[in-house]
């Protein structure tokens, strides 16, 4: 049943040779990898105005210079990541750059920060999409957590089906959103120029606002910079592009940054012109839509497009997280399971882990986007600062072309990114305090995993120039675990006698039904008179404990005789997999317990049922 359900949801397995067909064109990559960055225009301006109106509505005009600085930072980051794409085409983005230029600890900070940030990317995108839905349908307002979880599971399933297939699906909502925002901005500016939309700004540009401070300005700027999250995703996923990979990735990044700049600047300007203030039950973008289109068809198309792209914007995280996890696992900082590809040639373990983390964040923060944004921002600006400062070191080392100009671009990006990250820690520590705790935990996990793999490698490595002769045993002791006398038991005893010099049958009896236990002993001795039968009595309903103690004693005696000790666990296998749930899993528990003993070999005798 599970196999059929899996095929229905995920699709038929792809051949390994089909991997080339999963590579992305610029058209598909823009939909798959830019949805997060492009969708951020739905809440970037709102984050700026939300901070400014805490002082007064008149302060909203400051959103214009703030937007200008954000666009300067976008330019610096875009140029920097284009350099990273060409310099480090293997993917990994900030993690690889920081590791190469700053060393492993800085690389792990960047990598760990991005792992968490991609989970926040999914959570923020989905909760923002849910808010767009509830803005249009207020009756769903109190079901935000459930709606968000359903969307995460849908996007996870979509990505498990394969990168190319998910890109095909995502082209519809992403380009639909691009068209709707483009129409909204063009119509809005046209109406402003022609006087069809009157000037409703809360204050003129340059008007003095009492109480306005540099601290509040920087706070609004740092909140608006959340629009830049997702820009790094393309540099992480360079291996997913069609050849020439670096050129296609760099071109896609330039296209995405251009669209993002036009949308963010246009929305911020129209928001200022209309004098829109943030509301608890309706997003700023929704209010702009009403101001331009009214409550007609175009408004609902805009809300539909916004909800769709915010929902699928989570896909950027699903595209970048698995590759980042792959790079961390390749360097032995995460379990090697993250290097395994699934049936559809995607890194399924990374996809599932990301979905689980995002759902946990949605539940913890009750699907409140405003609570997630500060963590979201600090989680990306720390890697921004590390990667761009790392590129300065890269250019100083390589000194190719006009490297001084390239290093200057990286310096601008690194300086602003570091300043934003520090400011967020200082001014919004109440919101971002989980970040250092989570990072400390992740660094410890990375260290323990790396240490484990290093220890395992040292123990498994064959010593050079040393011939270690294998140990030769004089015989083999086989212990057959017997619950009752059946055809499975008979066949298992026959097999044990074929591989062992000394065979022991071991049975655990209980107080519950002594007559039945005596019948089992009598029946076994009648059928197998030449096999030693040991009946261990237990006063408790535990099989594992007596079995383990008995096997330890026999193994010790066998070692004294230079014999190996094998414990044979008989079990029958039902014809259909679902029938396993109808039977207890004693054999599974026994194997798990016995595997803890290094001087005992555990083997399973399977008897397959015909009906």
DSSP state of 14: P
* Contact present, 410 and 80 (Cβ < 8 Å): yes
Q: Is the pLDDT of residue 17 over 50?
A: no
Among residues 116, 139, 156, which one has the least CA distance to residue 311?
156
pLDDT category at 272 given cuts 50, 70, 90 is very high
| Residue 102, pLDDT score | 92
What pairing do the DSSP bridges indicate for beta strands 532-537 and 502-509?
parallel
| Residue 280, pLDDT score | 74
Q: Is the pTM of this model over 0.75?
A: no
Q: Which helix (H) or strand (E) holds 455?
A: helix 434-460
| Residue 521, pLDDT score | 83
Among residues 142, 147, 140, 156, which one has the least CA distance to residue 126?
147
Backbone torsions φ then ψ of 230, nearest 5 degrees: 100, -15
Among residues 527, 532, 549, which one has the least CA distance to residue 540?
549
pLDDT category at 445 given cuts 50, 70, 90 is very high
* Contact present, 388 and 417 (Cβ < 8 Å): yes
570: which strand partners?
605
Rounded Cα distance between 370 and 124, Å, is 9
pLDDT tens digits, 531-577? 999 988 877 767 888 899 999 999 999 999 999 999 999 988 888 77
Average pLDDT value for the chain? 84
> Within a 13 Å sphere around the CA of 411, how many CA atoms are in the beta-carbon half?
9
Give the 3-state secondary structure of 316-333: HHHHHHHHHHHHHHHCCC
CB atoms within 10 A of CB 607: 15
Strand, coil or helix: what is 559? helix
pLDDT tens digits, 178-206? 999 999 999 999 999 998 888 888 899 88
Structure tokens at 136: 């249009």
Give the 3-state secondary structure of 39-71: HHHHCHHHHHHHHHCCCCHHHHHHHHHHHHHHH
Q: Is the pLDDT of residue 372 over 90?
A: no
| Residue 344, pLDDT score | 58
520 CB-near residues (< 8 Å, 6+ apart):
482, 484, 485, 507, 509
Structure tokens at 65: 């210079």
DSSP string, 262-292: HHHHHHHHHHHHHT----SSS-HHHHHHHHH
DSSP state of 227: G
| Residue 20, pLDDT score | 46
| Average pLDDT of the residues in 168-177 | 85
Helices (H) and strands (E) in the chain, counts: 24, 5
Higher model confidence: residue 387 or residue 169? 387
* Contact present, 391 and 413 (Cβ < 8 Å): no
| Average pLDDT of the residues in 211-220 | 87
CA 240 vs CA 12, 34, 37, 95, 233: distances in Å: 21, 14, 18, 17, 11
Structure tokens at 96: 């690889």
pLDDT tens digits, 82-137? 888 888 887 667 888 899 999 999 999 999 998 988 888 888 878 877 877 787 77
Rounded Cα distance between 115 and 112, Å, is 5
Backbone torsions φ then ψ of 528, nearest 5 degrees: -130, 70
| Residue 229, pLDDT score | 72
DSSP string, 241-263: BPSSHHHHHHHHHHHHHHHHHHH
Q: Is the pLDDT of residue 2 over 60?
A: no
Question: Which percentage of the chain shows pLDDT scores above 90?
Answer: 27
pLDDT tens digits, 138-160? 888 788 889 889 888 888 888 88
User: For the chain, how many residues are written?
Assistant: 611
| Average pLDDT of the residues in 444-460 | 89
Q: Is the pLDDT of residue 18 over 70?
A: no
| Average pLDDT of the residues in 446-455 | 92
Strand, coil or helix: what is 321? helix
| Average pLDDT of the residues in 61-73 | 91
Q: Is the pLDDT of residue 452 over 80?
A: yes
Rounded Cα distance between 221 and 48, Å, is 7
Backbone torsions φ then ψ of 39, nearest 5 degrees: -70, -20
Q: What angle do CA 504, 548, 603 make, to 5 degrees?
A: 60
421 CB-near residues (< 8 Å, 6+ apart):
378, 381, 382, 384, 385
pLDDT tens digits, 274-291? 999 888 778 888 899 999
pLDDT tens digits, 479-492? 999 888 888 889 99
Q: Identify the top-confidence range among 7-16, 166-175, 353-362, 536-545.
A: 353-362
| Residue 334, pLDDT score | 93
Where helices occur in 103-160 by DSSP H, the ranges are 104-136, 144-160
| Residue 388, pLDDT score | 87
CA 187 vs CA 118, 193, 266, 292, 305: distances in Å: 34, 10, 11, 7, 17
| Average pLDDT of the residues in 587-594 | 85
């Amino acid at each position: 049943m599970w196999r059929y359900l899996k095929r229905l949801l995920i699709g038929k397995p792809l051949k390994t040779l089909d991997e080339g067909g999963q590579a992305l064109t610029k058209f598909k990559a823009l939909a798959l990898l830019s949805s997060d960055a492009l969708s951020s225009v739905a809440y970037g301006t709102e984050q700026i105005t939300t901070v400014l109106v805490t002082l007064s509505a008149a302060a909203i005009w400051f959103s214009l210079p703030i937007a200008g600085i954000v666009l300067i930072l976008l330019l610096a980051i875009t140029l920097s990541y284009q350099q990273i794409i060409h310099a480090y085409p293997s993917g990994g983005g900030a993690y690889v750059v920081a590791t190469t230029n700053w060393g492993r600890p800085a690389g792990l900070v960047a990598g760990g920060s991005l792992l968490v940030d991609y989970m926040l990317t999914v959570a923020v995108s989905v909760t923002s999409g849910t808010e767009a839905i509830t803005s249009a349908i207020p009756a769903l307002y109190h079901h935000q957590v459930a709606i968000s979880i359903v969307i995460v599971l849908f996007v996870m399933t979509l990505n498990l089906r394969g990168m190319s297939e998910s890109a095909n699906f995502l082209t519809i909502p992403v380009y639909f959103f691009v068209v709707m925002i483009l129409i909204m901005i063009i119509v809005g500016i046209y109406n402003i120029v022609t006087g069809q939309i009157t000037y409703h700004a809360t204050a003129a540009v340059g008007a003095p606002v009492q109480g306005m401070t540099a601290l509040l300005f920087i706070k609004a700027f740092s909140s608006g910079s959340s629009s830049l999250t997702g820009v790094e995703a393309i540099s992480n996923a360079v291996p997913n592009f069609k050849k020439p990979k670096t050129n296609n990735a760099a071109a896609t990044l330039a296209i995405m940054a251009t669209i993002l700049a036009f949308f963010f600047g246009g929305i911020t300007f129209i928001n200022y012109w209309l004098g829109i203030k943030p509301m608890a039950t309706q997003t700023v973008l929704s209010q702009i839509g009403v101001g331009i289109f009214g409550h007609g068809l175009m408004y609902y198309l805009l809300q539909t497009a916004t909800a769709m792209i915010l929902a699928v914007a989570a896909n950027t995280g699903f595209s970048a997280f698995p590759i980042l996890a792959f790079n961390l696992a390749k360097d032995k900082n995460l379990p090697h399971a993250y290097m395994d590809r699934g049936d559809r040639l995607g890194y399924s373990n990374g996809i599932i882990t990301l979905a689980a983390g995002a759902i946990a964040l949605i539940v913890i923060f009750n699907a409140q986007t405003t609570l997630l944004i500060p963590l979201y921002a600090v989680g990306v600006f720390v890697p921004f600062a590390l990667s761009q400062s790392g590129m300065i070191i890269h250019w100083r080392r390589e000194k190719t072309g006009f490297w001084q100009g390239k290093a200057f671009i990286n310096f601008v990006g690194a300086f602003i990114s570091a300043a934003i990250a520090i400011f967020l820690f200082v001014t919004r520590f109440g919101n971002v305090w989980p970040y250092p705790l989570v990072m400390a935990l992740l660094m410890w996990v990375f260290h323990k995993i790396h240490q484990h793999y290093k220890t395992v490698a040292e123990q498994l490595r064959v010593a050079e120039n040393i011939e270690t002769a294998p140990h030769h045993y004089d015989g083999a002791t086989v212990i057959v675990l017997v619950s009752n006398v059946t055809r499975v038991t008979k066949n298992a005893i026959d097999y044990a006698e074929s591989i062992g010099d000394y065979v022991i049958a071991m049975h655990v009896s209980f107080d519950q039904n002594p007559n039945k236990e005596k019948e089992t002993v009598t029946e076994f001795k009648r059928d197998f008179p030449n096999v030693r039968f040991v009946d261990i009595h237990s006063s408790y309903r535990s099989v594992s404990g007596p079995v383990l103690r008995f096997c330890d004693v026999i193994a010790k005696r066998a070692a004294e005789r230079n014999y190996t000790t094998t414990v044979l666990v008989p079990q029958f296998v039902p014809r259909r997999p679902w029938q396993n749930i109808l039977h207890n899993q004693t054999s599974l528990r026994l194997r798990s317990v016995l595997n803890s003993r290094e001087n005992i070999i555990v083997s399973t005798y399977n008897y397959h049922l015909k009906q």
